[in-house]
């Protein structure tokens, strides 16, 4: 292991969704805090959101032409083998030119080729699996990986037990200290401190079911005096804003995207959310009562598995996607009328949080470099 001022070259690969990208950036920042002289290079998939988000965070990124197989027969699938070969070739070139000391894969299409190329050159590799259900790429790469950092217990169902490190998922630092932010948060969103605040988050593009459920129930929420901070997503924002405006409801606040998530969490009395890996990890640190509505449109139904890991510990409530429109209002009302239920859920979810995840992953990286 070199000293603090020494230069390491680290590749972090993967992306496709915020659930892969934000943990990757958190790992890079935690590594650079300890080894500021290090060079960190990201490798993503061309056309995916990491190609924008990573440079915004101040890091260089290279793109591969890799893409996934469509589940139905499309012309895109005919190009799949060529994209894989092209990506493997570029991955080998990146490894040869950058000469990394270590390669980290966080999942997503770009993870496969770059970890595969690094493993063939006997460069240490680390996998960071965010979900409670391991993806196919990670299961294949795990056979030759040196360490696998996971966010859930019992992951030896998918990976060799001796390689597993139970670190949790790295999240943004600003959400770790919320206790003193509530007043500022209420002012920021112009909310009434005497009324409960429901926070609904469905990702940057939005979640159709969450939006349908809130549209269907917003009159009921408003009538009860519940305030709603509603991240609609870019895809649905204009339509929802118009409907809320036409309805004249003053307690409903549709926002395309919430940039200051720490303040949104600080303001919230109750959170309604999908159960992607990043959301689940953040909410376990936020320590608020949560209703998870898992997306059914994901590989191996992993969002339901993520949510059930919390529900089984009485740390969250689950509402099925198909029941969301008809049952959301009753579930929200039940929780907001029973402060003891809110406290039980909030206390339980906090015990499952791993606030030091990024530092634990850095320690594992250091061990691989020794």
Q: State how far the Cα of 137 lies from the Cα of 13, in Å rounded to an integer.
A: 13
Q: In whole angstroms, what is the distance from residue 265 CA to residue 101 CA?
A: 38
Residue in this structure with the two tokens 């990043």, named with its chain if needed:
278
Are 132 and 305 in contact by the 8 Å Cβ rule? The answer is yes
Q: How many CB atoms sit inside 10 A of residue 2's CB?
A: 14
Where do the DSSP E strands lie in 54-96? Answer: 60-64
Question: Within a 10 A sphere around the Cβ of 313, how many other Cβ atoms?
Answer: 12
Nearest-CA neighbor of 62 among 25, 12, 107?
A: 12
CB atoms within 10 A of CB 277: 25
C-alpha 151/C-alpha 360 separation (Å) is 11
Residues 6+ apart with CB under 8 A from 296: 303, 304, 321, 322
Question: What residue numbers does the annotated binding site cover?
Answer: 17-19, 131, 172, 204, 258, 277-282, 303
Binding residues for UDP-N-acetyl-alpha-D-glucosamine: 17-19, 131, 172, 204, 258, 277-282, 303
What does the chain come to in residues?
A: 370
Alpha carbon distances (Å) from 299 to 115, 281, 363, 367: 21, 19, 31, 32
Residue 93 Cα distances to 15, 85, 302, angstroms = 20, 13, 34
Residues 267, 332: Cα–Cα separation, whole Å: 16
User: Is residue 33 packed enough to be buried (19+ CB in 10 Å), middle (13-18) or exposed (0-12)?
Assistant: exposed
* 45: β partners: 64
């Amino acid at each position: 292991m070199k000293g603090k001022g020494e230069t390491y070259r680290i590749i972090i690969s993967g992306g496709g969704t915020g659930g892969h990208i934000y943990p990757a950036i958190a790992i890079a920042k935690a590594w650079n805090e300890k080894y500021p002289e290090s060079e960190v290079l990201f490798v993503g998939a061309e056309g995916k959101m990491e190609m924008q988000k990573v440079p915004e965070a101040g890091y260089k990124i290279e793109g591969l032409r890799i893409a996934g197989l469509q589940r139905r027969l499309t012309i895109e699938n005919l190009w799949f083998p060529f994209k894989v070969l092209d990506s493997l070739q570029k991955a080998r070139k990146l490894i040869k030119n950058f000469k990394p000391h270590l390669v980290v894969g966080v999942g997503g299409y770009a993870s496969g080729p770059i970890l595969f190329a690094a493993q063939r050159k006997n460069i240490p590799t680390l996998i960071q699996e965010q979900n409670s259900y391991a993806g196919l790429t990670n299961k294949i790469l795990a056979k030759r990986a040196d360490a696998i950092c996971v966010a859930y217990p019992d992951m030896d169902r998918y990976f060799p037990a001796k390689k597993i490190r139970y670190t949790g998922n790295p999240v943004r630092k600003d959400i770790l200290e919320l206790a003193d932010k509530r007043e500022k948060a209420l002012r920021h969103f112009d909310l009434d401190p005497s009324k409960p605040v429901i926070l609904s988050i469905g990702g940057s593009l939005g979640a159709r079911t969450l939006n349908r459920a809130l549209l269907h129930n917003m009159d009921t929420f408003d009538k009860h005096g519940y305030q709603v901070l509603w991240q609609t997503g870019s895809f649905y924002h204009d339509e929802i804003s118009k409907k809320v405006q036409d309805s004249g409801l003053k307690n409903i606040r549709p926002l395309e995207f919430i940039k200051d998530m720490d303040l949104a969490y600080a303001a919230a009395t109750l959170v309604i959310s999908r159960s992607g890996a990043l959301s689940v990890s953040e909410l376990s640190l936020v320590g608020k009562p949560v209703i998870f509505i898992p997306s059914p449109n994901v590989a191996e139904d992993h969002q339901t598995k993520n949510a059930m890991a919390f529900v089984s510990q009485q740390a969250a409530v689950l509402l099925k996607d198909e029941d969301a429109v008809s049952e959301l209002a009753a579930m929200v009302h039940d929780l907001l009328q029973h402060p003891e239920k809110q406290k039980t859920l909030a206390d339980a979810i906090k015990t499952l949080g791993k606030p030091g995840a990024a530092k634990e992953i850095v320690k594992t990286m250091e061990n691989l470099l020794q």
